[in-house]
Amino acid sequence: LTNLAKMEQNMGRYDEAESLLRKTLAIREKTLGPAHPDTLSSVSSLATLMRAMGNLQESEALHRRALEGKETVLGPRHPGTLATLNNLANLLRVL
């Protein structure tokens, strides 16, 4: 579903992408738990979409959630954690 959501996002179909990403996140939270790396990747994907849609406050909250989870689960120096930190920093530059 994530790949389909990214395709929808790339085609400018943000509402469809959002629906798919929220569905993916809900499934992963239920099956894997909120702190699983795949769940946190879904959080990051949704955060990126929210930024593209102009919902900067929700994007920030989601980026912070993903960052906190990745720091705990993966560690502060993991490439996935650092990528999330970079995404948050880029968002904060425009706020």
Distance between CA 54 and CA 70 in Å, rounded?
24
The predicted structure's pLDDT at residue 2: 93
Q: Are 71 and 81 in contact (CB under 8 A)?
A: yes
Reported as a single tens digit per residue, the pLDDT across 82-93 is 999 999 999 999
Please give the radius of gyration of the chain, using alpha carbons only, rounded to the nearest integer: 13
The predicted structure's pLDDT at residue 13: 98
The predicted structure's pLDDT at residue 46: 98
Q: In the chain, pLDDT over 70 holds for what percent of residues?
A: 100
Is the pTM higher than 0.85?
yes
The predicted structure's pLDDT at residue 40: 98
